[in-house]
Amino acid sequence: MKKTILILFAACFLALTPNMTKAQGLDFDSFLEAGIDDASLLLESYLQPAFEGFGFGMNSGWYNTAKPHKFLGFDISGSISLARVPDSNQFFTLPTGLTNVSLTNPSDTRRLPTIFGPNLGADDLPELRFTDDNGDEIIRISAPTGLGIDEDIVPFNAVPVPMIQLGLGIFKGTELKLRYIPEQDFEGDGGVKLFGIGVMHDVTQYLPAEKLLPFDLSVFLGYTNLESYVNIDEAAGQTAEFNANAWTVQGVISKKVLFFTAFAGLGYSNSNVDFNMLGDYSTETSTFTDPISLNYKNAGIRTNIGVRIKLLFLTITGEYAIQEYNTLTAGVGFSFR
């Protein structure tokens, strides 16, 4: 029955850790016994902060000043963004509309952790009861635990999003930014590729007395696309696919004092994340083809503040963005001209 156990472990993160298909203590085929619709509803709720957080994180780390590079000036930087999962998204209640999944104990008032909820042992997790279409019990399983990221790595639950990018000054106060990871194949376990492009344009040049202005002011537009997949069972043609698109438009202001540049932005961000499980998945009674297709969309105002320290060519950046998933970004890079 079980070819793919423990599939819930954030499929978007599986690429580098094939054993993680076995890491969540949850029998995906058992989920399917409860029907595709129920499996989708459960997965959607459980994985929601991972995918939403990833979308918010992708829109971070684009810039650390409002002053574009001079012609052919450039920078190379790497960053890690931590999209903080709101407390309200660390747990979920069983979604309405489930037909074959219920709490074993209907009076159990405990909520279920999402993947970015606390790491709980089986005794502290509600138990789910899976039934067939006749109402007969198939299996009972502890609700999947959260990972408890805040126990070890950072003092809060956050979705990490690493990024690397290049900035290049072109003309008339315009800077082009590129994010690019060519298609990577992880020895048959999965693959990933990333492309992003951004444009920053200085608007102070259009203002009167621009030389007298004590700050830099630009507009920024950025778009990032990530495509990845994980081979759950390559021989069986079972794959998890994770695609994300994010774009943001911002007004950016900055002020440089000695080595320090303080910057702030205000604008709008949007993300769209798809997660699909492709292939045939068999239960004791049925075979399901491409059983899971989830989509997460988020959009809203994004405000950020940050500071950059520049020592010769070395830049060190910290940024905090206020949005649904407040995001802390730290970066380091080299900047010329």
**How many C-beta neighbours within 10 Å does residue 300 have?**
11
Closer by beta carbon to other proteins, 20 or else 200: 20
Stretch (H or E) spanning 30: helix 28-33
Segment contacting other proteins (CB under 8 A): 11-19, 254-262, 274-282, 287-295? 11-19
End-to-end CA distance of the chain: 61
Does residue 191 belong to the site contacting other proteins (CB under 8 A)?
no
- Residue 166 CA to residue 171 CA, distance in Å, equals 16
Segment contacting other proteins (CB under 8 A): 5-13, 163-171, 174-182, 243-251? 5-13
Determine the size of the site formed for other proteins (CB under 8 A): 39
Closer by beta carbon to other proteins, 142 or else 271: 142
Stretch (H or E) spanning 242: strand 238-257
- Residue 104 CA to residue 40 CA, distance in Å, equals 20
Determine how β-strand 216-233 pairs with β-strand 91-92.
unpaired
Q: Are 153 and 138 in contact (CB under 8 A)?
A: no
Q: Which of 109, 152, 182, 312 binds other proteins (CB under 8 A)?
A: 152
Q: Which of 160, 191, 251, 318 binds other proteins (CB under 8 A)?
A: 160
Q: Which residue(s) pair with 303 in the sheet? A: 266, 322
Q: Which of 39, 112, 141, 226 binds other proteins (CB under 8 A)?
A: 141
- Residue 68 CA to residue 43 CA, distance in Å, equals 43
Q: Which of 35, 53, 68, 144 binds other proteins (CB under 8 A)?
A: 144
What's the maximum distance between 2 C-alpha atoms anywhere in the chain? 78
For residue 324, report the phi and psi dihedrals to the nearest 5 degrees.
Answer: -55, -45
Segment contacting other proteins (CB under 8 A): 15-23, 238-246, 277-285, 318-326? 15-23
Apex 332 CA angle, 304 and 319, nearest 5: 15
Q: Which of 11, 32, 94, 120 binds other proteins (CB under 8 A)?
A: 120
Minimum CB–partner distance for residue 204 and other proteins (Å): 39
Look up tokens 């899971």; give the residue.
292
Q: Are 208 and 243 in contact (CB under 8 A)?
A: no
Does residue 277 belong to the site contacting other proteins (CB under 8 A)?
no
Minimum CB–partner distance for residue 141 and other proteins (Å): 5
Minimum CB–partner distance for residue 210 and other proteins (Å): 43
Contact mark string toward other proteins, 18..57, x via CB under 8 A? --x-xxxxxx------------------------------
Residues that bind other proteins in the complex, under the rule CB under 8 A: 1-2, 5-6, 9-10, 13, 15-17, 20, 22-27, 118-122, 124-125, 127, 137, 139-142, 144-145, 147-149, 151-153, 160
